[in-house]
Amino acid sequence: MNALATSLQTYFTTFAHAQRDLSANTIASYRDTWRMLLKYLTATLETPTDGLDFDAVTAANVTGFLDHLEHERGNNAKTRNTRLTAIRSVLGRALPDHPEHAGTITQVLAIPPRRTVRPAIEFLTPAEVDALLAAPDRHAWTGRRDHALLVMAVQTGLRISEICSLTYDDIHLGTGPNIACTGKGRRQRITPLTKTTVTAMNVYLPERRTRPGVALFCGPHGQPLSRDAIEHRLTKHLSTAAITCPGIAGKHVTMHTLRHTAAMNLLTAGVDVSVIALWLGHSDTHSTDAYLHADMAIKQAAIDRTRPPGVSPGTYQPEPTILAWLTSL
Point out the catalytic residue in the list 20, 211, 251, 256.
256
Residue 159 annotated as catalytic: yes
> Could you give the 3-state DSSP secondary structure of residue 139?
coil
Residue 184 annotated as catalytic: yes
Point out the catalytic residue in the list 114, 184, 211, 227.
184
For residue 301, which of 318, 315, 285 has the smallest C-alpha distance? 315
For the chain, what is the total number of helices (H) and then of strands (E)? 15, 3
> Could you give the 3-state DSSP secondary structure of residue 72?
coil
Which value, to the nearest 10 degrees, does the dihedral of the CA atoms of residues 144, 150, 152, 156 take? 180
36 vs 87: CA distance, rounded Å = 11
Instruction: Classify the C-alpha dihedral 32-34-36-39 as positive or negative.
Output: negative
How are beta strands 188-192 and 171-172 bridged, if at all? unpaired
73 vs 134: CA distance, rounded Å = 39
Residue 68 annotated as catalytic: no
Point out the catalytic residue in the list 159, 233, 237, 260.
159
| Contact (Cβ atoms closer than 8 angstroms) between residue 141 and residue 268 | no
95 vs 89: CA distance, rounded Å = 10
258-262 long-range contacts, CB within 8 A, separation 24+: 258/124, 258/150, 258/153, 258/154, 258/157, 259/153, 259/157, 259/158, 259/159, 260/121, 260/122, 260/123, 260/291, 260/294, 261/123, 261/124, 261/129, 261/154, 261/157, 262/153, 262/154, 262/155, 262/156, 262/157
What angle is formed at CA 237 by the lines to CA 231 and CA 240, rounded to 5 degrees? 150
Residue 80 annotated as catalytic: no
| Contact (Cβ atoms closer than 8 angstroms) between residue 281 and residue 287 | no
> Catalytic site residues?
159, 184, 256, 259, 282, 291
